[in-house]
Structure 1
Amino acid sequence: MRRPRHLSPEERALWDRVAGSATPMNPEARPDPAPLAPVQKPSVVPRDPLPDFQVGQKANVHRPNDLLPGITHRLSNAPVHMDSKSFGKMKRGKLLPEARSDLHGMTMAEAHPELLAFILGSQAIGRRLVLVITGKGKDRDDGGPIPTRNGVLRHQVPQWLALPPLVQAVLQVTPAHLKHGGHGAYYVYLRRRR
Protein backbone atom coordinates (compact mmCIF):
# COMPACT_ATOMS: atom_id res chain seq x y z
CA MET A 1 0.00 0.00 0.00
CA ARG A 2 1.39 3.41 -0.93
CA ARG A 3 1.81 5.96 1.79
CA PRO A 4 -0.11 9.23 1.26
CA ARG A 5 1.95 12.15 0.06
CA HIS A 6 1.56 15.23 2.24
CA LEU A 7 1.48 18.70 0.66
CA SER A 8 4.23 21.20 1.35
CA PRO A 9 3.16 24.64 2.68
CA GLU A 10 3.63 26.20 -0.81
CA GLU A 11 1.52 23.49 -2.44
CA ARG A 12 -1.17 23.88 0.26
CA ALA A 13 -1.33 27.68 -0.33
CA LEU A 14 -1.66 27.16 -4.09
CA TRP A 15 -4.41 24.57 -3.55
CA ASP A 16 -6.35 26.90 -1.24
CA ARG A 17 -6.19 29.68 -3.88
CA VAL A 18 -7.49 27.36 -6.62
CA ALA A 19 -10.20 25.89 -4.39
CA GLY A 20 -11.33 29.40 -3.33
CA SER A 21 -11.85 30.50 -6.94
CA ALA A 22 -13.96 27.45 -7.85
CA THR A 23 -17.75 27.55 -7.70
CA PRO A 24 -19.34 24.59 -5.97
CA MET A 25 -21.53 22.29 -8.10
CA ASN A 26 -23.87 21.60 -5.20
CA PRO A 27 -24.07 24.63 -2.86
CA GLU A 28 -25.91 22.65 -0.14
CA ALA A 29 -23.07 20.13 0.17
CA ARG A 30 -20.93 20.27 3.26
CA PRO A 31 -17.34 21.45 2.90
CA ASP A 32 -14.50 18.93 3.21
CA PRO A 33 -13.59 18.14 6.79
CA ALA A 34 -10.27 19.31 8.13
CA PRO A 35 -7.34 17.03 7.30
CA LEU A 36 -6.67 14.29 9.82
CA ALA A 37 -3.73 14.55 12.11
CA PRO A 38 -0.90 12.09 11.33
CA VAL A 39 -1.19 8.75 13.09
CA GLN A 40 1.10 8.37 16.06
CA LYS A 41 3.15 5.17 16.06
CA PRO A 42 2.96 3.16 19.27
CA SER A 43 6.05 3.44 21.37
CA VAL A 44 8.45 0.51 21.28
CA VAL A 45 8.29 -1.67 24.37
CA PRO A 46 11.84 -2.22 25.64
CA ARG A 47 13.01 -5.82 25.76
CA ASP A 48 14.22 -7.48 28.88
CA PRO A 49 17.92 -6.86 29.25
CA LEU A 50 20.27 -9.76 28.61
CA PRO A 51 21.27 -11.61 31.74
CA ASP A 52 24.65 -10.73 33.18
CA PHE A 53 27.50 -12.85 31.88
CA GLN A 54 30.65 -13.53 33.80
CA VAL A 55 33.88 -14.49 32.05
CA GLY A 56 34.50 -18.17 32.74
CA GLN A 57 30.82 -18.93 33.35
CA LYS A 58 29.83 -22.41 32.20
CA ALA A 59 27.58 -22.71 29.19
CA ASN A 60 24.53 -24.94 29.02
CA VAL A 61 26.16 -28.03 27.50
CA HIS A 62 23.10 -30.25 27.89
CA ARG A 63 21.03 -28.68 25.13
CA PRO A 64 20.87 -30.65 21.87
CA ASN A 65 22.76 -29.16 18.95
CA ASP A 66 20.93 -31.03 16.20
CA LEU A 67 17.87 -29.31 14.78
CA LEU A 68 16.35 -32.41 13.17
CA PRO A 69 15.67 -35.64 15.00
CA GLY A 70 17.82 -38.58 13.94
CA ILE A 71 16.86 -40.63 10.91
CA THR A 72 16.06 -43.73 12.99
CA HIS A 73 13.78 -41.66 15.23
CA ARG A 74 11.94 -40.21 12.22
CA LEU A 75 11.50 -43.62 10.58
CA SER A 76 10.38 -45.21 13.86
CA ASN A 77 7.67 -42.56 14.27
CA ALA A 78 6.49 -42.77 10.66
CA PRO A 79 2.97 -44.16 10.19
CA VAL A 80 2.69 -47.85 9.29
CA HIS A 81 1.27 -48.32 5.79
CA MET A 82 1.51 -52.09 5.64
CA ASP A 83 -0.06 -54.98 7.53
CA SER A 84 0.83 -54.50 11.22
CA LYS A 85 1.53 -58.21 11.80
CA SER A 86 3.97 -58.32 8.88
CA PHE A 87 5.49 -55.02 10.01
CA GLY A 88 6.17 -56.43 13.48
CA LYS A 89 7.82 -59.55 12.00
CA MET A 90 9.90 -57.39 9.68
CA LYS A 91 11.16 -55.16 12.52
CA ARG A 92 12.09 -58.23 14.60
CA GLY A 93 14.06 -59.68 11.69
CA LYS A 94 11.68 -62.62 11.20
CA LEU A 95 10.99 -61.82 7.53
CA LEU A 96 13.87 -62.61 5.21
CA PRO A 97 14.67 -60.04 2.51
CA GLU A 98 14.31 -61.43 -0.99
CA ALA A 99 17.24 -59.39 -2.35
CA ARG A 100 19.81 -56.89 -1.14
CA SER A 101 21.73 -53.97 -2.57
CA ASP A 102 24.99 -52.88 -0.95
CA LEU A 103 25.57 -49.14 -1.42
CA HIS A 104 28.24 -49.10 1.28
CA GLY A 105 31.31 -47.16 0.14
CA MET A 106 29.64 -45.53 -2.89
CA THR A 107 29.37 -41.81 -3.49
CA MET A 108 25.93 -40.20 -3.76
CA ALA A 109 26.35 -39.92 -7.53
CA GLU A 110 27.01 -43.68 -7.76
CA ALA A 111 24.45 -44.77 -5.17
CA HIS A 112 21.37 -42.95 -6.49
CA PRO A 113 21.16 -44.67 -9.93
CA GLU A 114 22.00 -47.99 -8.29
CA LEU A 115 19.14 -47.55 -5.81
CA LEU A 116 16.73 -46.53 -8.58
CA ALA A 117 17.54 -49.59 -10.68
CA PHE A 118 17.42 -51.96 -7.70
CA ILE A 119 14.07 -50.79 -6.27
CA LEU A 120 12.23 -50.44 -9.58
CA GLY A 121 13.69 -53.73 -10.87
CA SER A 122 12.72 -55.55 -7.67
CA GLN A 123 9.17 -54.27 -7.90
CA ALA A 124 8.98 -55.24 -11.58
CA ILE A 125 9.78 -58.90 -10.82
CA GLY A 126 7.40 -59.05 -7.85
CA ARG A 127 9.69 -58.83 -4.83
CA ARG A 128 8.09 -57.46 -1.64
CA LEU A 129 10.90 -57.10 0.95
CA VAL A 130 14.39 -55.96 0.00
CA LEU A 131 17.39 -54.85 2.03
CA VAL A 132 19.35 -51.69 1.20
CA ILE A 133 22.74 -51.52 2.93
CA THR A 134 24.12 -48.01 3.39
CA GLY A 135 26.70 -48.47 6.13
CA LYS A 136 26.72 -46.46 9.34
CA GLY A 137 29.13 -43.82 8.07
CA LYS A 138 32.45 -42.58 9.37
CA ASP A 139 32.92 -40.02 12.10
CA ARG A 140 34.21 -37.02 10.14
CA ASP A 141 33.78 -34.24 12.68
CA ASP A 142 36.23 -31.53 11.69
CA GLY A 143 35.72 -29.58 14.92
CA GLY A 144 33.87 -26.74 13.17
CA PRO A 145 30.94 -24.83 14.67
CA ILE A 146 28.36 -26.69 12.58
CA PRO A 147 27.97 -30.38 13.48
CA THR A 148 28.28 -32.85 10.62
CA ARG A 149 26.13 -35.95 10.31
CA ASN A 150 27.59 -39.42 10.20
CA GLY A 151 26.71 -41.46 7.15
CA VAL A 152 25.67 -39.40 4.14
CA LEU A 153 23.98 -42.36 2.43
CA ARG A 154 22.30 -43.45 5.66
CA HIS A 155 20.50 -40.08 5.74
CA GLN A 156 20.00 -39.68 1.99
CA VAL A 157 18.52 -43.10 1.06
CA PRO A 158 15.21 -42.62 3.00
CA GLN A 159 14.80 -39.22 1.33
CA TRP A 160 15.36 -40.72 -2.12
CA LEU A 161 12.83 -43.45 -1.33
CA ALA A 162 10.24 -40.78 -0.45
CA LEU A 163 10.62 -38.93 -3.78
CA PRO A 164 9.45 -39.82 -7.32
CA PRO A 165 9.93 -42.20 -9.06
CA LEU A 166 10.60 -44.46 -6.04
CA VAL A 167 7.73 -43.27 -3.84
CA GLN A 168 5.19 -45.07 -6.02
CA ALA A 169 7.06 -48.37 -5.49
CA VAL A 170 7.77 -48.13 -1.74
CA LEU A 171 5.17 -49.01 0.89
CA GLN A 172 7.32 -48.88 4.06
CA VAL A 173 10.92 -48.10 5.06
CA THR A 174 12.35 -49.03 8.45
CA PRO A 175 15.84 -49.61 9.90
CA ALA A 176 16.95 -53.22 9.61
CA HIS A 177 17.23 -55.68 12.50
CA LEU A 178 20.74 -56.17 13.94
CA LYS A 179 21.15 -59.53 12.17
CA HIS A 180 20.56 -57.78 8.81
CA GLY A 181 22.79 -54.75 9.43
CA GLY A 182 21.07 -52.71 12.13
CA HIS A 183 21.26 -48.95 11.66
CA GLY A 184 23.53 -49.37 8.63
CA ALA A 185 20.74 -50.92 6.53
CA TYR A 186 17.06 -50.44 5.72
CA TYR A 187 14.19 -52.81 5.06
CA VAL A 188 12.22 -51.54 2.07
CA TYR A 189 8.78 -53.12 1.72
CA LEU A 190 7.53 -52.70 -1.85
CA ARG A 191 4.02 -52.25 -3.21
CA ARG A 192 2.53 -54.88 -5.50
CA ARG A 193 2.85 -53.90 -9.13
CA ARG A 194 -0.50 -53.01 -10.67
Structure 2
Amino acid sequence: MSEENSRRYARRLSQAEAELWTIATADVRPARARPRKHVSPPPAAEIVAPLSPSGPSAVSDPPMAPKPPPRPIDIDPRTFVKIKRGRIDVDAKLDLHGLRQAEAQRSLTAFLRRCQANGARIAIIVTGKGLTRDEGGVLRRVVPMWLEAPNLRDVVVGFGEAARHHGGEGALYVRIRRADRGR
Protein backbone atom coordinates (compact mmCIF):
# COMPACT_ATOMS: atom_id res chain seq x y z
CA MET A 1 0.00 0.00 0.00
CA SER A 2 1.46 3.36 -0.96
CA GLU A 3 1.87 6.20 1.51
CA GLU A 4 -0.95 8.13 -0.15
CA ASN A 5 -3.35 5.19 0.17
CA SER A 6 -2.39 4.60 3.80
CA ARG A 7 -3.23 8.23 4.61
CA ARG A 8 -6.57 7.90 2.89
CA TYR A 9 -7.56 4.91 5.04
CA ALA A 10 -6.11 6.27 8.28
CA ARG A 11 -8.53 7.22 11.03
CA ARG A 12 -8.23 9.27 14.16
CA LEU A 13 -7.95 7.55 17.52
CA SER A 14 -10.88 7.84 19.88
CA GLN A 15 -10.33 9.55 23.24
CA ALA A 16 -10.14 6.16 25.01
CA GLU A 17 -7.65 4.82 22.43
CA ALA A 18 -5.51 7.96 22.73
CA GLU A 19 -5.41 7.66 26.53
CA LEU A 20 -4.53 3.97 26.29
CA TRP A 21 -1.77 4.77 23.79
CA THR A 22 -0.37 7.43 26.13
CA ILE A 23 -0.29 4.96 29.02
CA ALA A 24 1.28 2.21 26.89
CA THR A 25 4.03 4.46 25.53
CA ALA A 26 4.73 6.49 28.68
CA ASP A 27 7.99 4.69 29.49
CA VAL A 28 9.19 4.29 25.89
CA ARG A 29 12.37 6.23 25.13
CA PRO A 30 13.88 6.93 21.69
CA ALA A 31 17.10 5.20 20.68
CA ARG A 32 18.85 8.57 20.45
CA ALA A 33 18.24 11.18 23.11
CA ARG A 34 16.09 13.88 21.58
CA PRO A 35 14.13 16.58 23.35
CA ARG A 36 10.65 15.22 23.96
CA LYS A 37 7.41 17.10 24.24
CA HIS A 38 5.87 16.65 27.64
CA VAL A 39 2.59 14.75 27.50
CA SER A 40 0.49 14.94 30.61
CA PRO A 41 -0.63 11.49 31.74
CA PRO A 42 -4.29 10.84 32.46
CA PRO A 43 -5.48 11.17 36.06
CA ALA A 44 -4.04 8.53 38.37
CA ALA A 45 -7.46 7.15 39.23
CA GLU A 46 -7.92 5.90 35.67
CA ILE A 47 -4.57 4.09 35.44
CA VAL A 48 -4.78 0.40 36.29
CA ALA A 49 -1.41 -1.23 36.88
CA PRO A 50 -1.07 -4.74 35.49
CA LEU A 51 -0.51 -7.47 38.04
CA SER A 52 2.72 -9.39 37.81
CA PRO A 53 2.64 -13.17 38.23
CA SER A 54 4.25 -12.87 41.64
CA GLY A 55 1.79 -10.24 42.83
CA PRO A 56 1.77 -6.46 43.01
CA SER A 57 4.53 -6.28 45.64
CA ALA A 58 7.26 -7.80 43.46
CA VAL A 59 10.40 -5.69 43.68
CA SER A 60 12.40 -7.02 40.74
CA ASP A 61 12.35 -9.76 38.16
CA PRO A 62 14.45 -12.89 38.77
CA PRO A 63 17.71 -13.11 36.82
CA MET A 64 17.35 -14.40 33.28
CA ALA A 65 18.38 -18.00 32.61
CA PRO A 66 20.70 -18.61 29.67
CA LYS A 67 18.83 -18.83 26.37
CA PRO A 68 18.30 -22.45 25.29
CA PRO A 69 19.36 -23.50 21.79
CA PRO A 70 16.68 -22.98 19.13
CA ARG A 71 14.26 -25.72 18.11
CA PRO A 72 15.43 -27.96 15.29
CA ILE A 73 14.28 -26.93 11.85
CA ASP A 74 13.84 -28.79 8.60
CA ILE A 75 16.99 -29.35 6.61
CA ASP A 76 17.10 -26.68 3.95
CA PRO A 77 16.56 -27.85 0.35
CA ARG A 78 20.08 -26.92 -0.70
CA THR A 79 21.68 -29.09 1.98
CA PHE A 80 19.22 -31.91 1.22
CA VAL A 81 20.25 -31.92 -2.45
CA LYS A 82 23.94 -31.91 -1.52
CA ILE A 83 23.46 -34.92 0.77
CA LYS A 84 21.34 -36.72 -1.82
CA ARG A 85 23.95 -36.23 -4.55
CA GLY A 86 26.83 -37.22 -2.29
CA ARG A 87 28.45 -33.77 -2.10
CA ILE A 88 28.03 -33.81 1.69
CA ASP A 89 29.02 -37.07 3.33
CA VAL A 90 26.82 -38.86 5.81
CA ASP A 91 29.08 -39.31 8.82
CA ALA A 92 27.09 -41.88 10.80
CA LYS A 93 24.05 -44.14 10.63
CA LEU A 94 21.78 -45.61 13.31
CA ASP A 95 19.22 -48.32 12.58
CA LEU A 96 16.41 -48.49 15.13
CA HIS A 97 14.61 -51.48 13.54
CA GLY A 98 13.40 -54.00 16.08
CA LEU A 99 13.95 -51.81 19.15
CA ARG A 100 11.25 -50.93 21.64
CA GLN A 101 10.53 -47.24 22.21
CA ALA A 102 12.53 -46.91 25.44
CA GLU A 103 15.54 -48.73 23.96
CA ALA A 104 15.29 -46.70 20.75
CA GLN A 105 15.17 -43.40 22.62
CA ARG A 106 18.20 -44.25 24.75
CA SER A 107 20.10 -45.46 21.68
CA LEU A 108 19.18 -42.34 19.70
CA THR A 109 20.27 -39.94 22.45
CA ALA A 110 23.57 -41.75 23.08
CA PHE A 111 24.26 -42.05 19.34
CA LEU A 112 23.67 -38.35 18.64
CA ARG A 113 25.81 -37.25 21.58
CA ARG A 114 28.63 -39.56 20.39
CA CYS A 115 28.31 -38.17 16.87
CA GLN A 116 28.54 -34.62 18.19
CA ALA A 117 31.59 -35.47 20.30
CA ASN A 118 33.26 -37.07 17.26
CA GLY A 119 32.58 -34.02 15.07
CA ALA A 120 29.96 -35.61 12.80
CA ARG A 121 27.82 -33.13 10.86
CA ILE A 122 25.17 -35.36 9.20
CA ALA A 123 23.71 -38.64 10.45
CA ILE A 124 21.00 -40.95 9.18
CA ILE A 125 18.45 -42.39 11.59
CA VAL A 126 16.59 -45.38 10.14
CA THR A 127 13.17 -45.79 11.76
CA GLY A 128 11.51 -48.04 9.19
CA LYS A 129 8.25 -47.34 7.41
CA GLY A 130 6.08 -49.45 9.69
CA LEU A 131 3.75 -52.32 8.94
CA THR A 132 0.67 -50.34 7.90
CA ARG A 133 0.81 -47.75 5.17
CA ASP A 134 -1.85 -45.53 6.75
CA GLU A 135 -0.41 -45.16 10.22
CA GLY A 136 3.27 -45.87 9.68
CA GLY A 137 5.51 -47.28 12.36
CA VAL A 138 5.61 -46.15 15.96
CA LEU A 139 9.26 -45.12 15.73
CA ARG A 140 8.59 -43.25 12.50
CA ARG A 141 6.04 -41.13 14.39
CA VAL A 142 7.94 -40.59 17.65
CA VAL A 143 11.56 -40.09 16.53
CA PRO A 144 10.83 -36.58 15.12
CA MET A 145 9.30 -35.65 18.50
CA TRP A 146 12.40 -36.95 20.28
CA LEU A 147 14.65 -34.93 17.96
CA GLU A 148 12.69 -31.76 18.83
CA ALA A 149 12.79 -32.44 22.58
CA PRO A 150 14.63 -29.95 24.82
CA ASN A 151 17.22 -32.53 25.90
CA LEU A 152 18.55 -32.79 22.31
CA ARG A 153 18.35 -29.13 21.29
CA ASP A 154 22.04 -28.68 22.04
CA VAL A 155 22.80 -31.54 19.61
CA VAL A 156 20.28 -31.35 16.75
CA VAL A 157 20.26 -28.41 14.34
CA GLY A 158 17.60 -29.84 12.06
CA PHE A 159 16.27 -32.94 10.43
CA GLY A 160 14.26 -34.06 7.43
CA GLU A 161 13.15 -37.10 5.48
CA ALA A 162 15.99 -38.95 3.77
CA ALA A 163 16.40 -39.44 0.04
CA ARG A 164 15.11 -42.67 -1.44
CA HIS A 165 18.53 -44.35 -1.66
CA HIS A 166 19.12 -43.61 2.04
CA GLY A 167 15.79 -45.05 3.20
CA GLY A 168 13.23 -42.50 2.01
CA GLU A 169 10.18 -42.26 4.25
CA GLY A 170 11.69 -44.74 6.70
CA ALA A 171 14.78 -42.67 7.49
CA LEU A 172 15.73 -39.16 8.57
CA TYR A 173 18.76 -36.99 7.91
CA VAL A 174 19.87 -35.24 11.10
CA ARG A 175 22.14 -32.18 11.10
CA ILE A 176 24.30 -32.16 14.20
CA ARG A 177 25.35 -29.01 16.03
CA ARG A 178 29.06 -28.49 16.60
CA ALA A 179 30.21 -29.31 20.11
CA ASP A 180 31.05 -26.32 22.30
CA ARG A 181 34.79 -26.03 22.51
CA GLY A 182 34.60 -24.04 25.77
CA ARG A 183 33.30 -26.91 27.92
Report the TM-score when normalising by structure 1: 0.51
Structure 2 counterpart of 1:163: 149
Higher helix share: 2
Shift in CA distance, 97/139, structure 1 to aligned 2, threshold 3 Å: same
Structure 2 counterpart of 1:180: 166
Tell me by how many angstroms 1:81 deviates. 6.6
Q: Is the 8 A contact 2:97 2:128 kept in 1?
A: yes
Q: CA RMSD in A?
A: 2.3
From the CA coordinates, give the structure whose radius of gyration is larger.
Answer: 1
Tell me by how many angstroms 1:172 deviates. 1.2
Structure 1 counterpart of 2:109: 116
Structure 1 counterpart of 2:17: none
Find the residue that maps to 1:139 and give its secondary structure: coil
Aligned pair partner of 1:191 in 172, 177, 183: 177
Tell me by how many angstroms 1:136 deviates. 0.3
Tell me by how many angstroms 1:92 deviates. 5.2
Find the residue that maps to 1:135 and give its secondary structure: coil
Q: How does 1:1-194 map to 2 (within 5 A)?
A: 80=74, 85-90=78-83, 94-139=87-132, 149-194=135-180
Find the residue that maps to 1:165 and give its secondary structure: helix
Find the residue that maps to 1:187 and give its secondary structure: strand
Tell me by how many angstroms 1:109 deviates. 1.4
Q: Is the 8 A contact 1:173 1:187 kept in 2?
A: yes
Tell me by how many angstroms 1:88 deviates. 3.2
Distance 2:111 2:150 in 1: 15
Shift in CA distance, 80/175, structure 1 to aligned 2, threshold 3 Å: closer
Tell me by how many angstroms 1:91 deviates. 5.0
Distance 2:87 2:75 in 1: 18
- Structure 2 counterpart of 1:176, one-letter code: A
1:126-179 Cα deviation digits (max 9, x unpaired): 100011000000129xxxxxxx72211011001000002112211110111111
1:11-46 Cα deviation digits (max 9, x unpaired): xxxxxxxxxxxxxxxxxxxxxxxxxxxxxxxxxxxx
Tell me by how many angstroms 1:107 deviates. 1.0
Q: Is the 8 A contact 1:91 1:174 kept in 2?
A: no
Distance 2:138 2:113 in 1: 22
- Structure 2 counterpart of 1:120, one-letter code: R
Distance 2:162 2:102 in 1: 24
Distance 2:142 2:178 in 1: 24
Tell me by how many angstroms 1:95 deviates. 2.8
Distance 1:79 1:114 in 2: 22
Find the residue that maps to 2:151 and give its secondary structure: coil
Q: Percent identity?
A: 42
